[in-house]
Each structure stands twice: as structure tokens, then as C-alpha cells.
């Protein structure tokens, strides 16, 4: 550093140090996101996006989301974002209702028109969403492919309390499941 004059050189050193520090921060954040998966955000948004992405017929699993403590999600909450009527969306506690330790804090409400989480802290979950053209076709699909050992489904989608045989079209069921990531 012979013949360095003025303060310009020290400003340049400071700039380089700032760029290196920023690069290290980005690398650390990428590593942490790989080790600690980020929360999925709002449950209503994740479920509505899942339904909108597959209607009128399909099967998908939402990204991980957080059910807030003492929260309720109903089909009425999803009507605006999905474009479906309330009877077209049925909820089931899914994986939270089966197994050696069922989570009794998650319950279905009003004949499957919603789910309620009564826990005291947030719960990481996902939703498997299945839509079929009619309630009868959804019931047939569930009977053929979904094991009662894996998912608890409290309502018959073809019943008049839910989609009905042909009334509400399409008919979608939201099966809660434990977060996989």
C-alpha cells in the first residue's frame, strides 16, 4: 500500500467488507432454510389455492401451513377464493383422527362444513384435497382408494348434508394430514 493518499482507499476496503459480509449472510440463510423448513403460512390461503388448482377434478397436497391456536376454517371461508359454493367443500380431520395417538384438538364441525383446531399453539399441517365432478363420484373414489386406517372421514360427500349425489358440482374434500416437512 505504498503511496496511498486520502481516504478513498479505506472507503473501498469498507465496500468490499460489506459485500463479503452480505454474501456470507445469504449463504447462512440458505443453509438455515435447508435445515429448518419455513412455515407454510396461512391455512385458508393454502387450501383455497389447492382447490382452485385442481377443480373440477383432481388430487393434490398443499404446502405445509400453520393452523393457528383456537382457529376454525369453514367452507364459507373459501367460497370467494375458490368460486365454489359452500356445499361443494367438505372437511375431514384426516390423519389427525387416526393412529395410536389421535389429535383430539382437531375436530370436524357441522357435518363436515369445517374444521376446528382447539390447541394452545400453532399446528403444522398439510391438506390432501380431492375433487370429483359429483358427490357420488367423490364417495366412490374415497371408498376405493382411501384407507380408514390412514384418514378419518366423518361425513359422506354424497349425503344431503354435504355435496349431495348430483347437487353441488364439483365436490371437493379437504383431508388434513401431518406435515411431511
Helix/strand number for the chain, H first, E second: 4, 8
Q: Please state the pTM of the whole predicted model.
A: 0.72
Q: Report in angstroms the alpha-carbon separations of 19 from 15, 26, 32, 145, 163.
A: 6, 11, 20, 54, 58
Which cell numbers in the block locate residue 53?
A: 388448482
**What's residue 106's pLDDT?**
85
Which cell numbers in the block locate residue 134?
A: 359429483
Same-domain pairing of 53 and 87:
yes
Number of structural domains (the chain) is 2
Same-domain pairing of 134 and 166:
yes
Let me know if residue 93 belongs to a domain: yes
Let me know if residue 100 belongs to a domain: yes
Strand intervals (E) in the chain: 58-61, 65-67, 71-74, 89-92, 106-109, 114-117, 123-132, 171-178
Same-domain pairing of 28 and 91:
no
User: What tens-digit pLDDT sequence spans the chain (181 residues)?
Assistant: 555 555 566 778 888 899 999 989 888 877 766 554 555 578 899 999 999 888 788 899 999 988 888 889 998 899 888 888 888 898 888 887 765 456 667 888 877 888 888 888 888 889 999 999 888 888 888 888 887 777 777 777 777 777 876 666 788 889 888 887 6
The closest alpha carbon to 73, from 95, 106, 39, belongs to 106
What sign does the CA torsion over 39, 41, 46, 47 have?
positive
Same-domain pairing of 24 and 71:
no
**What's residue 12's pLDDT?**
81
Q: Are 89 and 172 in contact (CB under 8 A)?
A: yes
Task: Encode pLDDT of 138-149 as tens digits.
Answer: 888 888 888 777
Structural domain of residue 15, as residue ranges?
A: 7-36
What sign does the CA torsion over 173, 179, 180, 181 have?
positive
Same-domain pairing of 17 and 104:
no
Amino acid at each position: 500500500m505504498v503511496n496511498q493518499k486520502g481516504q478513498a482507499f479505506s472507503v473501498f476496503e469498507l465496500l468490499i467488507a460489506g459485500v463479503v459480509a452480505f454474501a456470507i449472510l445469504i449463504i447462512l440463510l440458505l443453509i438455515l432454510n435447508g435445515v429448518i423448513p419455513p412455515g407454510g403460512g396461512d391455512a385458508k390461503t393454502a387450501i383455497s389455492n389447492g382447490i382452485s388448482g385442481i377443480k373440477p377434478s383432481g388430487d393434490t397436497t398443499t404446502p405445509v401451513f400453520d393452523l393457528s391456536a383456537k382457529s376454525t376454517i369453514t367452507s364459507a371461508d373459501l367460497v370467494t377464493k375458490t368460486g365454489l359454493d359452500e356445499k361443494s367443500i367438505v372437511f375431514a380431520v384426516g390423519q389427525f383422527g387416526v393412529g395410536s395417538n389421535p389429535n383430539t384438538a382437531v375436530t370436524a364441525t357441522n357435518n363436515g362444513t369445517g374444521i376446528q383446531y382447539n390447541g394452545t399453539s400453532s399446528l403444522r399441517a398439510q391438506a390432501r384435497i380431492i375433487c370429483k365432478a359429483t358427490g357420488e363420484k367423490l364417495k366412490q373414489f374415497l371408498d376405493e382408494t382411501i384407507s380408514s386406517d390412514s384418514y378419518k372421514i366423518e361425513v359422506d360427500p354424497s349425503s344431503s348434508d354435504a355435496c349431495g349425489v348430483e347437487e353441488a358440482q364439483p365436490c371437493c374434500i379437504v383431508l388434513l394430514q401431518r406435515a411431511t416437512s
